[in-house]
Amino acid sequence: MEWTRSETVALALDNCTHCHGIGLRVGNGGKINPCNCVLRSIFRACYARFRQYANREKFGILSPDPAPGRDGGNMWGRKEEEYVADFCLVSRRYLNESEYKIFKYYFLLRADWKLCCRKLNIDRGKFFHAVYRIEQKLGRIFRELEPYPLYPLEEYFHGPWRKSTALPGCEQRDTVVPFRKPARPRISIPGRKAA
């Protein structure tokens, strides 16, 4: 997966000292990588949506999904429940045991940082460094997950955006065609006033 500036600039922090608000950094070997502030923003957007759906008392909204294949029928699913499950399962799969303990206490159970530090027997600095590493790690995974990433959220819930296809008999043009003819340029005659 290749990261582009158009998708990272909106997520980057303006006052980030590493990327200066662009969202991209040059890594080892000249490879372009997203900045950590972008990865944390991706995680926080996914986590906000997770909390929104997990705090609801009732699920039950069915949404149509286009079925794969030629038939093109619709399948029905509960996208909100699927998202909550995917968020938890992907996090469990990609975090090691100590990271998952912090994730579970701080993000899933919503414990205070003081309680987490006491329960995990670590100090405040190590705890928050671990939280930032977890956000960065999961932000990258949520964006680069194949074949169905959790981020961008609109693609997860509504499917990938497809290019529009031309109607039969109509051709698509690569050039812009004006709706009306451009106005004729004015010709100036020396010694004569313009009308």
Closest CA relative to residue 37, chosen from 13, 68, 71: 13
Instruction: Work out the pLDDT band at 18, boundaries 50, 70, 90.
Output: confident
Burial tier of 53 (Cβ tally within 10 Å: 0-12, 13-18, 19+): middle
Whole-structure pTM over 0.75, yes or no? no
The pLDDT of residue 176 is 55
The pLDDT of residue 111 is 93
- Kindly tell me if the per-residue pLDDT of 4 is higher than 50: yes
Residue that the structure tokens 């093109």 belong to? 72
Q: Tell me the percentage of the chain whose pLDDT exceeds 70.
A: 72
Closest CA relative to residue 42, chosen from 142, 112, 117: 142
The pLDDT of residue 130 is 96
Secondary structure E strands in the chain:
24-26, 32-34, 63-66, 74-77
The pLDDT of residue 71 is 65
Instruction: Work out the pLDDT band at 121, boundaries 50, 70, 90.
Output: very high
160 CB-near residues (< 8 Å, 6+ apart): none
Q: For residues 24 and 22, give the distance between their C-alpha atoms in angstroms, rounded to a whole number.
A: 6
The pLDDT of residue 11 is 86
Residue with the bigger pLDDT between 181 and 62: it is 62
The pLDDT of residue 178 is 52
Q: What is the DSSP string of 46-96?
A: HHHHHHHHHT-S-----EEEEPSSSS--EEEE-HHHHHHHHHHHHHHHHS-
Instruction: Work out the pLDDT band at 163, boundaries 50, 70, 90.
Output: very low
Q: Mean pLDDT over residues 62-87, rounded?
A: 74
Cα of 18 vs its chain's centroid, Å:
20
Choice among 21-25, 111-115, 162-166 with the minimum mean pLDDT: 162-166
Q: For residues 12 and 2, give the distance between their C-alpha atoms in angstroms, rounded to a whole number.
A: 17
The pLDDT of residue 69 is 61
Q: Mean pLDDT over residues 50-74, rounded?
A: 72
Instruction: Work out the pLDDT band at 160, boundaries 50, 70, 90.
Output: low
